Amino acid sequence: MKKCIIYIGDFDLRNQNVQAHLVLNNGKIFNSFGYSVFYIGVNRYITSFKNLQPLPQSDTFKDHYLELPNSLNTPGIFICKDICKLIINNLNLQKKEFKIDGVITYQSPSYAVAVKKIAKWCKKNNVPYIVNCADLPIFDLQSPIRKIVMKLNWNYLHSINKKYADGIIAISHFIADYFRKPGRPTIILPPLFDCGQTPSDFTPNETSSFIYAGTPFLITGHKVDPKGMKDRLDKVIDIFIALSEKGVKYIFNIIGITKEDYLIGVPKHKKALENINNIFFYGKLSHKETLFMISTSDFSINYRDENLMTKAGFSTKIVESVSLGTPVVINDISDTFDYLEEGISGFKLTGDIDKDSVTVKKLCEISLNDRRQLKIKIANSKIFDFSKYEYKIKEFMSSFKNTLT
């Protein structure tokens, strides 16, 4: 009988959100073992069944993807029951044709009640229930009501997963410890990348170029409290403002937020940015455009404060940057420097603007040829290529052969 893995979660294959790239690259590992991988995800822009459109005939995932409306909102409460029913029906359908060697949930495609039903279905059908956890979020910038609802939902979700999970795929040591239980198989798997063919040539800019790509904070139309910032882009801009005052040449490109939205959130930089002509905001770009700009930059740069979310998570932009040959400038957060080689693929920031300005200034002074050689060396290392982690998944899956009864 053919065997399969079923991935269920809040990833959006149609619109390619961050979660989609993580599960797809994990799915490629399962494919390499001969598994068919079926995905049950969401359309993050659609909140009702009636607005879902059929996937295009040419879509690679058309026959392997059940798309659900995004229900993680107030109206979603009213369609949660239908979503749960659809998921369970799909599991029963796949069970008739395949031997299901694992159902993996990545967050939740709906409110946590859906995950409980999935976990109970797995227990009933003697199928390993595996949790792929990549985030322990904070909700400081949510509206008061949504903050309460989402906190309750996440607490319930994690209580279910701690109780029912047969195995854990954790993105970091912090999450692995959070879910650790005697006898429960656990692996730590960073976000992965399909490196494909190694780039053989890079042409750096004459002037050292840096790039930030991400969503630094939730755009609310108001000044942002630093405690609610996912990325401290403001601290990074402070570094470049200090360098401009010293006459250091550089280019800093910012993807993911417009200049207008940034200055509404961080108005203190309005005057400084009016006088600097080498910091550029591009707003949101497609994933393909973003990867191209990262690959043609000399360095990626970011800074994250330490909190529950940043200690638990692992930035996919670090993975994408290094895989494209672009070294990362960032503070030592989560498991980052377990994978990066300091002074080669990673350069540490401290949070002290004077020290960090010195670090970045030195990077600006690296010669064009040395920057080119550095990028080639990093790309050739393929630190995060999914093929390097196949053995870990294989060992992990083999551990379930005798654990279920």
- Give the confidence band of 197 by pLDDT, cuts at 50, 70, 90: very low
CA angle at residue 19 from 80 to 113, to 5 degrees?
A: 25
Checking if the pLDDT of 268 tops 90, the result is yes
Per-residue confidence (pLDDT) for residue 404, from 0 to 100 = 43
Per-residue confidence (pLDDT) for residue 201, from 0 to 100 = 56
Per-residue confidence (pLDDT) for residue 228, from 0 to 100 = 78
Asked if 50 contacts 79 with a C-beta cutoff of 8 angstroms, the reply is: no
Among 200-204, 237-241, 256-260, where is mean pLDDT lowest? 200-204
- Give the confidence band of 405 by pLDDT, cuts at 50, 70, 90: very low
Distance CA 22, CA 161 (A): 20
pLDDT digits 0-9 by tens, 105-137: 999 888 899 999 999 999 999 999 999 999 887
Mean pLDDT of 242-249: 96
φ/ψ (deg, to 5) at 250: -165, 170
pTM above 0.75, yes or no: yes
DSSP state of 280: E
Among 41-45, 70-74, 288-292, where is mean pLDDT lowest? 70-74
Mean pLDDT of 147-165: 90
Per-residue confidence (pLDDT) for residue 174, from 0 to 100 = 95
CA 378 remoteness from chain centre: 21
Asked if 245 contacts 353 with a C-beta cutoff of 8 angstroms, the reply is: no
Cα distance between the two ends of the chain: 20
DSSP state of 249: -
Distance CA 85, CA 88 (A): 5
Q: Which alpha helices (DSSP H) does 266-399 contain, by range?
A: 270-274, 287-295, 308-312, 316-323, 336-339, 353-364, 368-381, 390-398
Asked if 175 contacts 189 with a C-beta cutoff of 8 angstroms, the reply is: no
- Give the confidence band of 67 by pLDDT, cuts at 50, 70, 90: very high
Which residues fall within 8 angstroms of residue 391, CB to CB, at 6 or more apart?
none
Mean pLDDT of 162-169: 96
Higher pLDDT, 50 or 321: 321
Q: Of 161, 194, 254, which Cα lies nearest the Cα of 385? A: 194
The conformational region for residue 56 under phi > 0 = left, psi -120 to 50 = alpha, else beta, is beta
Distance CA 95, CA 146 (A): 37
- Listed by start position, the domains of the chain span 3-192+386-398, 209-381
- Give the confidence band of 203 by pLDDT, cuts at 50, 70, 90: low
- Give the confidence band of 274 by pLDDT, cuts at 50, 70, 90: very high
Which residues fall within 8 angstroms of residue 131, CB to CB, at 6 or more apart?
104, 105, 161, 165, 167, 168, 169, 179
- Give the confidence band of 176 by pLDDT, cuts at 50, 70, 90: very high
| Cα dihedral 233→239→240→245 (10° resolution) | 150
Which residues fall within 8 angstroms of residue 261, CB to CB, at 6 or more apart?
219
Fold of 3-192+386-398: Rossmann fold (3.40.50)
For helices 316-323 and 18-32, the axis angle rounded to 10 degrees is 60
The secondary element (H helix, E strand) that includes residue 123 is helix 113-124
Asked if the domains at 3-192+386-398 and 209-381 fall in one CATH topology, the answer is yes
Mean pLDDT of 342-353: 96
Per-residue confidence (pLDDT) for residue 198, from 0 to 100 = 46
- Give the confidence band of 258 by pLDDT, cuts at 50, 70, 90: very high
Mean pLDDT of 177-205: 81
| Cα dihedral 284→249→234→253 (10° resolution) | 10
Quickly tell me which residue has 């956890």 as its tokens: 133
Burial readout 368-384 (b: 16 or more C-beta within 10 A, e: otherwise):
eeebbebbbebbebbbb
DSSP 181-242: -TT--EEE----B---SPP------SS-EEEEES--S---SSPPPGGG-SS-HHHHHHHHHH
DSSP 70-84: ---SGGGGGTHHHHH
pLDDT digits 0-9 by tens, 384-395: 999 999 999 999
Checking if the pLDDT of 378 tops 80, the result is yes
- Give the confidence band of 140 by pLDDT, cuts at 50, 70, 90: low
Per-residue confidence (pLDDT) for residue 138, from 0 to 100 = 74
Quickly tell me which residue has 């809040």 as its tokens: 10
Mean pLDDT score of the chain: 91
Asked if 282 contacts 254 with a C-beta cutoff of 8 angstroms, the reply is: yes
CATH placement of domain 209-381: 3.40.50.2000
φ/ψ (deg, to 5) at 211: -140, 140
Distance CA 370, CA 203 (A): 11
Checking if the pLDDT of 275 tops 80, the result is yes
